């Protein structure tokens, strides 16, 4: 038996919401269901169950098991006592292993150092077909001969390499110090989880809003898929379209973070525990980082009449992890701000996937970055799954989604000065209507609203999804990778919540498209999005045209989007953030003098 994945089977959404209302401070009896004028207090938590994906090598079967954790053994599962059982049979074909440059062969230049950058000398034209079940090589083909690129003196990135660049020896130490300890971020409630596929998962996100208490925003936030298609039609690059979450697992490929490098300041680390293929437990220490960051100015205004100024610094709570998928590194971050914003950010770095060229050859579909070495053009797509619960109490599902576009008013009596524009809203009532694309020209965004809760102006409370820079696939519709990545065809999808619809390419994307699997199939049911549990699937990405400056290691590229309060609060929730500790500076003293002078004149 090979244990492909063992994860916690998460409790039902309503059960979690009920537990949140009771266990998260501040306790709010008004959020709990009532009977005979008394709230129903949860007396026990639901049974803990595990979900297992198990491959039986002898029977050539993949099975899915749901088991109570009390039936779990230390190094496996007592399947005889599993509470329920569901089997899926997959025929395991011979696996064609398409080497991405140096992933299966390690070639060194003139050095035997383990830190040698082997990606700098890729082998072209070799294809190996392996039967992974029997561990036998079925085919070996050497389709073409391309000489190895010559040794490149800029190839390595470890300390001590001589590159003839700028002298950095005068770089001074930067220390982030919190002498009073961490700030108690009382405004945010959330839980932190971690899975083999998704990596970091944020549960039960809520904002504690003064006397209004704990107000839910989202039930579950995570990155559920990541696709990297390449734009070179030549061998072997046209085959490159990795599904890094569904095929490899973002969590499984995460690594330990180092204080002072990956995160600065006062940090809380979390370990991750996984079941390996034999059923044993493996631990990645310090895999999730929780810390606070200074983020510049939060808000400021200076009265030009008096010269008096008020300014507040922004501080955000950041939860993050970093994974290495072969040659690339990806950092995933969730930032929680004092003004109620939530930012999802991805940082891309690592080494380019490269190909060798014949001497003097140029490649149309890539960038030559060193002699006889080039990097193909490609795209990186990420899918964020956001199970929303804006202002929803337990057992409530009163959310809807609207699209907002800015329109230019037509010439006429309503626009006599030709300057008028306005925001137009459209309610997305069903799943097929909610397949949408970004449109920066109309400042397009989407708002999840609670139809039963209003702000002080009588408008529904809501949170809006504000896109950042993004893209759509540049491949033709007939491209083979789009058969299993149909979810890349739109930036936004909205579905009615269903607990087994977790991954946009299906649970086994290497078997996709399968019947009734995947986001593009689920929305064909065209379920209603009116006053229901809404799940937003936001697809965003970057088109990477490699630069010479991306070699030997690509500097971090950042892409992100925002969840922002839209009528959720009655005014700015950041207005009560106190001034910083430097209030007794000369500037503050001079402002006091100005105030005193004005008072004396009055």
Rounded Cα gap, residues 400 and 528, in angstroms:
10
* CATH code of the domain covering residue 462: 2.70.98.20
Cβ contact 227:330 at 8 Å: no
What would the pLDDT profile of 151-184 be if each residue is shown by its tens digit?
Answer: 888 888 887 665 666 667 777 887 778 887 776 6
* pLDDT of amino acid 48: 86
User: Is 302 a domain residue?
Assistant: yes
Among 192-196, 323-327, 404-408, which stretch is predicted with the lowest mean pLDDT?
323-327
Cβ contact 268:291 at 8 Å: yes
What would the pLDDT profile of 493-505 be if each residue is shown by its tens digit?
Answer: 999 999 999 999 9
User: Is 430 a domain residue?
Assistant: yes
Rounded Cα gap, residues 218 and 462, in angstroms:
11
User: Is 168 a domain residue?
Assistant: no
Two tokens, residue 180:
């009073």
- The pLDDT-based confidence of 334 (bands split at 50, 70, 90) is very high
| Parent domain of 287 | 181-228+243-358+377-547+558-566
What pTM was estimated for this model as a whole?
Answer: 0.89
User: Is 173 a domain residue?
Assistant: no
Total domains present in the chain: 1
What would the pLDDT profile of 268-312 be if each residue is shown by its tens digit?
Answer: 999 999 998 898 999 999 999 999 999 999 999 999 999 999 999
User: Is 57 a domain residue?
Assistant: no
* pLDDT surpassing 50 at residue 571: yes
Backbone φ and ψ of 589, nearest 5°: -65, -40
Cβ contact 503:246 at 8 Å: yes
* pLDDT surpassing 60 at residue 89: no
What would the pLDDT profile of 179-227 be if each residue is shown by its tens digit?
Answer: 877 766 669 999 999 999 999 999 999 999 988 889 999 999 999 999 9
Rg of the chain taking only CA atoms, in angstroms: 27
User: Is 335 a domain residue?
Assistant: yes
User: Is 216 a domain residue?
Assistant: yes
To the nearest whole percent, how much of the chain has pLDDT over 90?
59
Backbone φ and ψ of 123, nearest 5°: -100, 125
- The pLDDT-based confidence of 87 (bands split at 50, 70, 90) is very low
Q: Active-site residue numbers? A: 244, 328
Rounded Cα gap, residues 86 and 65, in angstroms:
6
How does DSSP assign 134-159, residue by residue? TTEEEEEEE----PPPPP-TT---ST
User: Is 38 a domain residue?
Assistant: no
* pLDDT surpassing 90 at residue 124: no
């Amino acid at each position: 038996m090979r244990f492909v994945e063992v994860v916690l089977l998460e409790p039902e959404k309503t059960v979690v919401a009920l537990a949140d209302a009771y266990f998260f401070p501040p306790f709010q009896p008004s959020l709990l269901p009532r009977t005979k004028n008394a709230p129903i207090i949860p007396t026990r938590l639901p049974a803990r169950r595990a979900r297992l994906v198990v491959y039986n090598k002898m029977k050539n079967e993949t099975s899915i098991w749901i088991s109570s954790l009390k039936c779990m053994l230390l190094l496996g599962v007592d399947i005889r006592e599993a509470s329920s059982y569901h089997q899926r049979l997959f025929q395991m074909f011979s696996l064609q292993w398409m080497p991405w440059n140096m992933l299966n062969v390690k070639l060194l230049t003139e050095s035997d150092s383990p830190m040698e950058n082997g990606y700098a000398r890729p082998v072209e034209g070799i294809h190996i077909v392996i039967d992974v079940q029997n561990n036998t090589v079925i085919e070996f083909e050497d389709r073409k001969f391309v000489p190895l690129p010559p040794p490149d003196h800029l190839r390595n990135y470890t300390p001590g390499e001589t590159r003839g660049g700028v002298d950095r020896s005068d770089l001074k130490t930067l220390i982030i110090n919190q002498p009073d300890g961490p700030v108690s971020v009382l405004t945010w409630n959330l839980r932190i989880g971690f899975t083999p596929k998704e990596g970091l998962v944020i549960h039960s996100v809520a904002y504690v809003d003064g006397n209004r208490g704990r107000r839910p925003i989202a039930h579950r936030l995570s990155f559920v898929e990541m696709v990297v298609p390449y734009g070179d039609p030549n061998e072997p690059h046209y085959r490159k379209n990795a599904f890094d979450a569904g095929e490899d697992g973002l969590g499984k490929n995460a690594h330990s973070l180092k204080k002072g490098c990956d995160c600065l300041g006062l940090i809380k680390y979390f370990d991750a525990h996984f079941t390996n293929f034999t059923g044993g437990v493996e631990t990645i220490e310090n895999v999730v980082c929780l810390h606070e960051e200074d983020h510049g100015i939060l808000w400021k205004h200076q009265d030009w009449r008096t010269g008096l100024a008020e300014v507040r610094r922004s501080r955000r709570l950041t939860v993050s992890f970093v994974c290495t998928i072969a040659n690339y590194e990806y950092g995933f971050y969730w930032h929680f701000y004092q003004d109620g914003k939530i930012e999802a950010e991805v940082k891309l770095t690592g080494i380019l996937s490269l190909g060798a060229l014949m001497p003097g050859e140029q490649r149309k579909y890539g960038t030559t970055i060193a002699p006889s070495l080039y990097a193909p053009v490609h795209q990186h797509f990420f899918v964020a799954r956001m199970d929303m619960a804006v202002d929803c109490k337990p057992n409530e599902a009163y959310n809807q989604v609207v699209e907002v576009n800015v329109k230019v008013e037509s010439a006429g009596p309503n626009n006599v000065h030709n300057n008028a524009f306005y925001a137009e809203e459209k309610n997305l009532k069903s799943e097929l209507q909610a397949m949408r694309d970004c449109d920066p020209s109309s400042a397009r965004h989407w708002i999840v609203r609670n139809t039963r809760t209003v702000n002080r102006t009588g408008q529904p409370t809501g949170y809006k999804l504000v896109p950042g820079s993004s893209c759509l696939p540049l491949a033709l519709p007939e491209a083979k990778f789009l058969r299993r990545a149909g979810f890349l065809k739109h930036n936004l999808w909205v579905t009615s919540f269903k607990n087994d619809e977790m991954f946009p390419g299906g649970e086994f994307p290497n078997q996709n498209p399968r019947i009734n699997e995947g986001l593009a199939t689920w929305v064909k049911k065209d379920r209603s999005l009116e006053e229901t549990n809404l799940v937003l699937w936001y697809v965003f990405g970057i088109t990477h045209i490699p630069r010479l400056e991306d070699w030997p290691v690509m500097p971090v590229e950042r892409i992100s989007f925002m969840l922002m309060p839209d009528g959720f609060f009655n005014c700015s929730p950041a207005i009560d953030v106190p001034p910083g500790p430097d209030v007794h500076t000369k500037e503050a003293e001079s402002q006091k003098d100005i105030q005193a002078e004005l008072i004396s004149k009055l």
